Amino acid sequence: MSNIIHVPLGARAYDVLVGPGLLVQSGTLIAPLLRRPRVAVVTDEAVGALHLDALRSGLAASGIELTSLALPPGEATKCWVQLERTTEWLLEAQIERGDVVIAFGGGVIGDLVGFAAAILRRGVRFVQIPTSLLAQVDSSVGGKTGINSSRGKNLIGAFHQPSLVLADTDMLATMKNRDFLAGYGEVVKYGLLGDAAFFDWLEGHAPSMAAGDVDARIYAVSRSVQMKADIVARDETEQGDRALLNLGHTFGHALEAATGYSGRLLHGEGVAIGCALAFELSARLGLCPQETPSRVRAHLTNMNMKVDLSDIEGDLPDANALLALMAQDKKVQEGKLHFVLARDIGEAFVTSDVPHDAVLSVLQDALASR
């Protein structure tokens, strides 16, 4: 049985299905969207090797033919060269306005293929089949698509909502532990930003979920997607509330930039460390109880996740340089850093009213404990 989460966006509304066995049912689920029984699938080489045959059979069961392109795995693929390669391939494959493109992979594939779909023939529909935890709970839902610039992550892109998202929780079984835990950084973020009861549940159930508990995985993905759907429905293009989803990201993006977007720090790991730092900053500013940051850190530590700057291998720049990297983030408006801080677990809010000195001292202390 899968859970269905509706994203109510008027003419752009769609469903996110969460559960096991969705790849097997993909043909039945996707057929109603098609004008002819043919789809173009873009994946990465690693996901394709593991799961493309299963998707092909799922589609073939409903008589749908699949043509596919496999891109190199990794963040470096979110670039102009691979975007051009993908769009030219889609044109070569004679994908028309009425056709559907399928993004089959993690966040990199979802973002790049969504953007390719947004600009191909001025916009074709696409379906997200996210295969990583991070993509299932975050990047496949909400319509943010794009690629990176040499000046920063996700700086080139478009809002383009998918027509359907199939989050097959069976896909999570083949994930490497480190990637799964990095994706968990985005799951815990939802509890921290808006649902204290979900955070309580995660404290009790996340260890068994990470160990493979299927029901716990379905619940955690469904609850995360529901929270994201609610926020996106209120603020599709991030004029206000959607920025709550950036909890932990201002610190996290600076750390990702400082580590060269390399394997030293995965995005979700940066988000988890960033959440711990955001709660530390909130406590120092007297906004949340002094003991709350320790509770956040204790849970991340219990999950064997990166929590401190000392968990990042190699050198890091000093606090001023990290602050400068934060100032380059997209979340800067009129020169002010926009932070997501919290009054307690589950009570996050967006503010630009944060003294730079307070941020600097949090970073200095975090670096000193390395």
Active site residues: 122, 144, 186, 228, 238, 242, 246, 249, 253, 267
For 202, the 3-state DSSP assignment is helix
Please report how close the Cβ of residue 139 comes to ligand GLY at its closest, in angstroms: 6
Residue in the structure block whose two tokens are 């008027």: 10
* 329 touching ligand GLY, by CB under 6 A: no
CA distance 158 to 142: 11
Closest CB to ligand GLY among residues 333, 369: 333
* 78 touching ligand GLY, by CB under 6 A: no
* 106 touching ligand GLY, by CB under 6 A: no
Closest CB to ligand GLY among residues 96, 230: 230
The correct pick among 56, 189, 217, 242 for binding ligand GLY (CB under 6 A) is 242
Closest CB to ligand GLY among residues 134, 366: 134
Q: Which of 173, 57, 46, 157 is nearest to 104 (CA)?
A: 46
Spell 290-318 as b/e; 16+ CB within 10 A means b.
Answer: eebbeebbebbeebebbbbbeebeeebbe
Binding positions for ligand GLY, 254-293, rule CB under 6 A: none
* 83 touching ligand GLY, by CB under 6 A: no
Per-residue tokens: 61 = 């069961």
Please report how close the Cβ of residue 36 comes to ligand GLY at its closest, in angstroms: 32
The correct pick among 44, 138, 195, 280 for binding ligand GLY (CB under 6 A) is 138
* 142 touching ligand GLY, by CB under 6 A: yes
Burial environment of residue 254 by CB neighbours within 10 A (0 to 12, 13 to 18, 19 or more)? buried
Per-residue tokens: 156 = 């080139």
Closest CB to ligand GLY among residues 299, 331: 331
Please report how close the Cβ of residue 271 comes to ligand GLY at its closest, in angstroms: 9
Closest CB to ligand GLY among residues 30, 245: 245
Residue in the structure block whose two tokens are 């994946």: 43
Stretch binding ligand GLY (CB under 6 A), from 63-71, 113-121, 136-144, 283-291: 136-144
For 30, the 3-state DSSP assignment is helix
Of the CA atoms within 13 Å of residue 73, those in its CB half-sphere come to: 12
Is-contact 292 341, C-beta < 8 A? no
**Binding residues vs ligand GLY (CB under 6 A):** 138, 142, 144, 242, 245
